[in-house]
């Protein structure tokens, strides 16, 4: 059976609004929003680096974040994680500018809580902080409970189960053999943070974090450190609840570490000249810069590989769209695909229910009509994933008429009067092969 993605209410709402103007417009809207979120991410990181340390620290922090391959990859793919991080950083910035700001941070956290459930923990802890200061208001309580209630209501409307996002995501993680469980957090966390930031940035974050908390210890720095600790706690809670331990779930603490890494490079200027740790901090910052320079070729290779992968996947998806729209039989007909990867796109493009799109990998064979990748290399570029437990795909059927493109083969009965046979019209870039 195809695996349905976890519904995120705010993302679902944006997608629904965009789809009113057509599928292509909705897709383009998400791409534009993805790039906008990346721009906002850079600005917010700069603003926090400047507020906690110095303007130069903000510039370096923004450069560090926007040159991390996973950040750029998730951003251009329009994952919800980048807008989610922006909302959390916006809440941090508002709290940095005015202690116990209250409404503005909680509004941002409420929106963030409609993208990822970790924000609920941030909202609860922040509400406790407001209560400790005697400034908690009924509106604040409504904002704290609003996001999880709206999420449950959204699940109820869409699936009939108010806890579908939890139970469905946990079931999918089990079926796919994903790593879960609190026992894996201590080993997975540093490794996944390293995947995002790389070793020199982690070293700089350790330098900047320890020395700034010891020698500077401003309210903004303490707020940022507390947010980082809380983010790891939230990550651990997700793992405990049976959700997958994924790299992108650590993007927010990685972003905070990048700000402290920039502090490790630049923030020594805030120490008095007579402080003996000024020169030591400067030396450690210089060592961090040397490490970053050494890793530049590796980073460029990762970015180039990501760019090539995105271009290839775009071409593969574009051809799949064109062949599906032009040549598939009516929408009531079931079709077959290599595995679950292409199910959401084909369901959207062809107005089919996901249950009408069969996974050949899970069925053990293709049904007709169906799509098959032309080569194993194409399957690795789009269909298969490194984290898949099952990377085997059944062979395409033989002795059937096929429409062959550059990336896909669309095959069906050689001769049939069935209404679910392939559309007879052949496009200019597709040839019939016996």
Whether residues 100 and 227 fall in one domain: yes
The dihedral built from the CA positions of residue 201, 202, 204 and 205, taken in this order, carries a sign that is: positive
C-alpha R_g of the chain: 25
Whether residues 136 and 19 fall in one domain: yes
Per-residue pLDDT at 332: 79
Q: 3-state class of 163 per DSSP?
A: coil
Asked whether residue 324 is assigned to any structural domain, the reply reads no
Per-residue pLDDT at 348: 85
Whether residues 262 and 359 fall in one domain: no
Asked whether residue 54 is assigned to any structural domain, the reply reads yes
Whether residues 288 and 337 fall in one domain: no
Is residue 318 within 8 Å of 290, Cβ to Cβ? no
How many whole angstroms separate alpha carbon 412 and alpha carbon 370? 7
| Residue among 156, 78, 71 at smallest CA distance from 115 | 78
Asked whether residue 302 is assigned to any structural domain, the reply reads no
Poorest-pLDDT segment among 114-123, 237-246, 386-395, 401-410: 386-395
Asked whether residue 304 is assigned to any structural domain, the reply reads no
How many whole angstroms separate alpha carbon 307 and alpha carbon 193? 21
Per-residue pLDDT at 159: 87
Per-residue pLDDT at 413: 57
Per-residue pLDDT at 429: 47
Both tokens of 244, joined, read 């997958």
**What are the residues whose beta carbons fall under 8 Å from the beta carbon of 268, sequence distance 6 or more?**
211, 277, 278, 281, 282, 285
Tell me what the mean pLDDT of segment 131-135 comes to: 96
Asked whether residue 91 is assigned to any structural domain, the reply reads yes
Query: From residue 115, how far is each of 58, 141, 184, 261, 418 by CA, in Å?
Result: 26, 19, 24, 27, 44
Whether residues 264 and 367 fall in one domain: no
Give residue 39's pLDDT band: very low, low, confident or very high (50, 70, 90).
very high
Whether residues 353 and 206 fall in one domain: no
Per-residue pLDDT at 345: 87
Tell me what the mean pLDDT of segment 412-431 comes to: 52
How many whole angstroms separate alpha carbon 19 and alpha carbon 25? 7
- Total domain count for the chain? 2
How many whole angstroms separate alpha carbon 373 and alpha carbon 410? 9
Whether residues 366 and 273 fall in one domain: no
Asked whether residue 306 is assigned to any structural domain, the reply reads no
pLDDT, mean over the chain: 89
Is residue 408 within 8 Å of 373, Cβ to Cβ? yes
Is residue 82 within 8 Å of 34, Cβ to Cβ? yes
pTM of the model: 0.90
Whether residues 236 and 362 fall in one domain: no
Whether residues 391 and 283 fall in one domain: no
Both tokens of 72, joined, read 């750029």
Whether residues 272 and 221 fall in one domain: yes
Whether residues 131 and 278 fall in one domain: yes
| Residue among 146, 90, 125 at smallest CA distance from 233 | 125
Q: Is the pLDDT of residue 389 over 70?
A: no
User: Over the stretch 214-240, which tens digit does the pLDDT of each residue have?
Assistant: 999 999 999 999 999 999 999 999 999
Whether residues 114 and 254 fall in one domain: yes
Q: 3-state class of 370 per DSSP?
A: strand
- Residue whose structure tokens are 């920039």: 262
Given 231, 266, 294, the domain boundary residue is: 294
Asked whether residue 84 is assigned to any structural domain, the reply reads yes
User: Over the stretch 140-149, which tens digit does the pLDDT of each residue have?
Assistant: 999 999 999 9
How many whole angstroms separate alpha carbon 229 and alpha carbon 216? 19
| Residue among 321, 301, 305, 274 at smallest CA distance from 381 | 305
Asked whether residue 281 is assigned to any structural domain, the reply reads yes
Per-residue pLDDT at 432: 46
Per-residue pLDDT at 330: 81
Per-residue pLDDT at 390: 64
| Residue among 416, 338, 340 at smallest CA distance from 378 | 338
Give residue 62's pLDDT band: very low, low, confident or very high (50, 70, 90).
very high
Give residue 424's pLDDT band: very low, low, confident or very high (50, 70, 90).
low
Bridge partners of 412, per DSSP, are 401
Q: 3-state class of 80 per DSSP?
A: coil
Dmax over CA atoms of the chain, in Å, equals: 90
Q: Is the pLDDT of residue 22 over 90?
A: no
> Residue 384 sits in which domain range?
330-433
């Amino acid at each position: 059976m195809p695996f349905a993605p976890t519904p995120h209410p705010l993302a679902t709402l944006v997608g629904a609004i965009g789809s009113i103007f057509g599928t292509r417009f909705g897709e383009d809207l998400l791409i534009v929003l993805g790039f906008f979120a990346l721009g906002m991410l850079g600005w917010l990181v700069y603003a926090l680096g400047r507020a906690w340390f110095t303007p130069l620290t903000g510039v370096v922090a923004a450069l560090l974040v926007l040159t991390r391959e996973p950040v750029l990859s998730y951003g251009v793919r329009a994952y919800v994680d980048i807008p989610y991080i922006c909302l959390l950083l916006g809440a941090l910035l508002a709290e940095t500018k005015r202690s116990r700001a209250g409404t503005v941070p909680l509004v941002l956290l409420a929106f963030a809580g409609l993208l990822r459930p970790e924000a609920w923990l941030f909202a609860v802890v922040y509400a406790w902080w407001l209560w400790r200061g005697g400034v908690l208001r009924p509106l604040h309580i409504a904002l704290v409970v609003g996001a999880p209630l709206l999420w449950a209501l959204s699940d109820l409307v869409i699936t009939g189960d108010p806890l579908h996002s939890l139970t469905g995501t946990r079931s999918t993680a089990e079926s796919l053999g994903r790593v879960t469980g609190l026992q894996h957090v201590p080993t997975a966390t540093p490794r996944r943070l390293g995947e995002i930031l790389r070793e020199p940035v982690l070293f700089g974050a350790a330098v900047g974090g320890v020395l700034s908390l010891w020698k500077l210890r401003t309210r903004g720095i303490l707020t940022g450190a507390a947010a980082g600790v809380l983010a790891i706690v939230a990550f651990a809670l997700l793992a405990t609840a049976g959700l997958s331990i994924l790299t992108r779930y650590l993007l927010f603490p990685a972003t905070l570490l990048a700000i402290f890494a920039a502090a490790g490079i630049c923030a020594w200027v805030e120490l008095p000249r007579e402080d003996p740790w000024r020169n030591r901090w400067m030396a450690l910052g210089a060592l961090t810069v040397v490490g970053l320079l050494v890793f530049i070729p590796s980073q460029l290779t990762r970015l180039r590989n990501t760019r090539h992968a995105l271009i290839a996947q775009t071409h593969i998806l574009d051809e799949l769209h064109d062949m599906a729209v032009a040549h598939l039989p009516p929408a009531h007909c079931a079709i077959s695909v290599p595995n679950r990867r292409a199910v959401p796109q084909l369901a959207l493009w062809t107005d089919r229910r996901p249950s009408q799109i069969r996974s050949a990998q899970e069925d053990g064979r293709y049904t007709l009509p169906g799509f098959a990748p032309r080569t194993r290399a194409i399957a690795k570029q789009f269909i298969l994933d490194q984290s898949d437990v099952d990377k085997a795909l059944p062979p395409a059927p033989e002795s059937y008429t096929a429409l062959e493109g550059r990336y896909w083969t669309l095959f069906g009965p050689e001769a049939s009067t069935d209404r679910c046979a392939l559309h007879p019209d052949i496009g200019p870039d597709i040839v019939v092969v016996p």
